[in-house]
Amino acid sequence: MQIIVQKFGGTSIATPQIREAAVERIRQALVGGYMPVAVVSAMGRAGAPYATDTLKKLAENIYSQISLRELDLIMHCGEIISAVVLAATLHKAGIKARAFTGFQAGLTTDGCYGQARVVACEPDRIKQCLQEGVVAVVAGFQGITPDGEINTLGRGGSDTTAVILGSALQAELVEIYTDVCGIATADPHIVKEARVIPRLTHSEVCQLVYEGARVIHPPAVEVAMKHNLNIVIRSLTEEGPGTLICNGVSASADSGFSVLSPGRVVTGIVHTVDIVQLVVEFTDPDPDLEMKLFENLAEAGISIDLISVFPTLKIFTIKEEALDRAAQVLSKLGIGFRVEKDCAKVSVIGFGMRGLPGVMARVVRALNEKGISILQTADSNISISLLIRRPDLTAAVHTLHDHFGLGEPDAISGEPFAFIQES
């Protein structure tokens, strides 16, 4: 039995009309000889009656200090509602289906309310369901601890549910259906010439999502990489192969994937906004004070990025919403600092950058020619991140996208791909 996991986001099952499109995707899998497992998110977005944020607010509006345990109890209900509704829709369409909660599907979590990790997956009931020829519809975003406490997996956690189940069931593929056609070379809202990338490595996608692309939950990609599981991100309603995410060295010969080439230097441009830069100045080198600085920021729940540390100078960025808390930490320590507000981070990502000299020079030259100042940089073996002023963001993304030719038809390696043939 060949298994395929299909994940449907909240907007993909929010209305009766769009649920018909989900049913058609499941039907295509069945016609193609696969036994599908559907993983669902809560229906709609904030404001919709069964959306996760709506359910959360229902409790918080009564008592703002409600515990994380109780919040998990109410937030996990949205996905259960979705699972039952999609199962009912499948039955109406003549397709046998059975709905499961996350814990009925065998997902065991670590007990961290709101941000749990799955520590084990034993999907025996799902396997039995599939053997009976019944489509399994699983509520994403949730699991249960060994002592029976319900946990949620954090925003985007249904992606992780799908990938974990795909690995545990040894699925041929995980398809993530969304409202975009795949992963693009840049944000199409900024760059109209942005193109959907046919194929990416797990490493590239990890870097893209951590630096700002919001097309898949980062832990889901990490799980897929660990288990060498192939993922396709594609539109629910529009035709097209989407983006295949697979191993960067070679892929399964049985699946017919070709070997990926690292010939492209840059794969995509991503960005994040609402960032501020903090420049912290010490009078003299002080290792103890330096340690207290970073420890106290961590204790205040402040995540820092783009970190540059010198004996008397510490430069890093934080989200704008954390500025007041950071200022309180620094003031209590008696440390002088200055703030650069209204910043953005632009990141250039590419598997082909590894060990290739001159990419940073090209980036700096391209931005300098447009008069765009670079406030700070950081890099990894497949990424270069640059801090710029927020008003320069659109120009910077356009400039880098154009400089590396990402809007050109031959700029993106890989042939179109469709795991299930469209009927």
Q: What is the pLDDT of residue 110?
A: 95
pLDDT digits (tens, 9 = 90+) for 180-197: 889 999 998 899 999 999
The tens digit of pLDDT for each residue in 115-128 reads 999 999 999 999 99
The pLDDT value given to residue 256: 35
Q: With 60 as the cut, is the pLDDT of residue 413 above it? A: no
**Beta carbons of 43 and 82 less than 8 angstroms apart:** yes
β partners of residue 383: 349, 380
Q: Is the pLDDT of residue 422 over 80?
A: no
pLDDT band at 208 (very low <50, low <70, confident <90, very high): confident
CATH of domain 3-255: 3.40.1160.10
Instruction: Please state the separation of Cα 402 from the chain's center in Å.
Output: 25
Where in the sequence of the chain do the CATH 3.40.1160.10 domains occur? 3-255
Whether the predicted pLDDT of 329 surpasses 50: yes
When pLDDT is averaged across residues 265-294 and rounded to a whole number, the result is 94
Enumerate the CATH 3.30.2130.10 domain ranges in the chain, comma separated: 268-403
* 58 has pLDDT over 60: yes
Tokens encoding 224: 């897929």
Determine how many CB atoms are found less than 10 A away from the CB of residue 338. Answer: 9
| Confidence at residue 410, expressed as pLDDT on a 0 to 100 scale | 57
Report yes or no: 52 and 141 within 8 Å, Cβ to Cβ: yes
Q: What is the 3-state secondary structure (H, E, C) of the chain?
A: CCEEEEEECHHHCCCHHHHHHHHHHHHHHHHCCCEEEEEECCCCCECECCCHHHHHHHHHCCCCCCCHHHHHHHHCHHHHHHHHHHHHHHHHCCCCEEEECCCCCCEEECCCCCCCCEEEECCHHHHHHHHCCCEEEEECCEEECCCCCEEECCCCHHHHHHHHHHHHCCCCEEEEEECCCCCECCCCCCCCCCCECCEEEHHHHHHHHHCCCCCCCHHHHHHHHHCCCCEEEEECCCCCCCEEEECCCCCCHHHCCCCCCCCCCCCEEEEEEEEEEEEEECCCCCHHHHHHHHHHHHHCCCCCEEEEECCCEEEEEEEHHHHHHHHHHHHHHCCEEEEEEEEEEEEEECHHHCCCCCHHHHHHHHHHHCCCCCCEEEEECCEEEEEEEHHHHHHHHHHHHHHCCCCCHHHCCCCCCCCCCCC
Return the percentage of the chain with pLDDT > 90, whole number: 74
pLDDT reported for residue 263:
55
Give CA–CA dist 333/346, Å, rounded: 32
The rounded mean pLDDT for the chain is 90
Question: How many Cα atoms are found within 13 Å in the side-chain-facing hemisphere of 403?
Answer: 22
Both tokens of 10, joined, read: 């909240």
Distances 137 to 11, 97, 130, 159, 365 between C-alpha atoms, Å: 17, 7, 11, 14, 51
Using 50, 70 and 90 to split pLDDT, how confident is the model at 44? Answer: confident
| pLDDT at residue 14 tops 70 | yes
Q: Which position has the higher pLDDT, 413 or 16?
A: 16
CA 185 to CA 193: how far, in whole Å? Answer: 9
Distance from C-alpha of 423 to C-alpha of 405, rounded to nearest angstrom: 34
| Mean of pLDDT values over 112-139 | 96
* Residue 214 identity: R
227-267 confidence digits (pLDDT tens): 999 999 999 998 888 999 988 643 333 333 333 444 578 88
Superfamily of domain 268-403: VC0802-like (3.30.2130.10)
Beta bridge partners of 168: none
- Average pLDDT for 213-229: 88
Q: Which residue, 217, 211, 127, 115, is CA-closest to 163?
A: 217
Closest by CA position to 39, among listed 121, 110, 131: 121
**Residue at 192: amino acid letter:** K
Residue 306 pLDDT > 50: yes
pTM of the model: 0.82
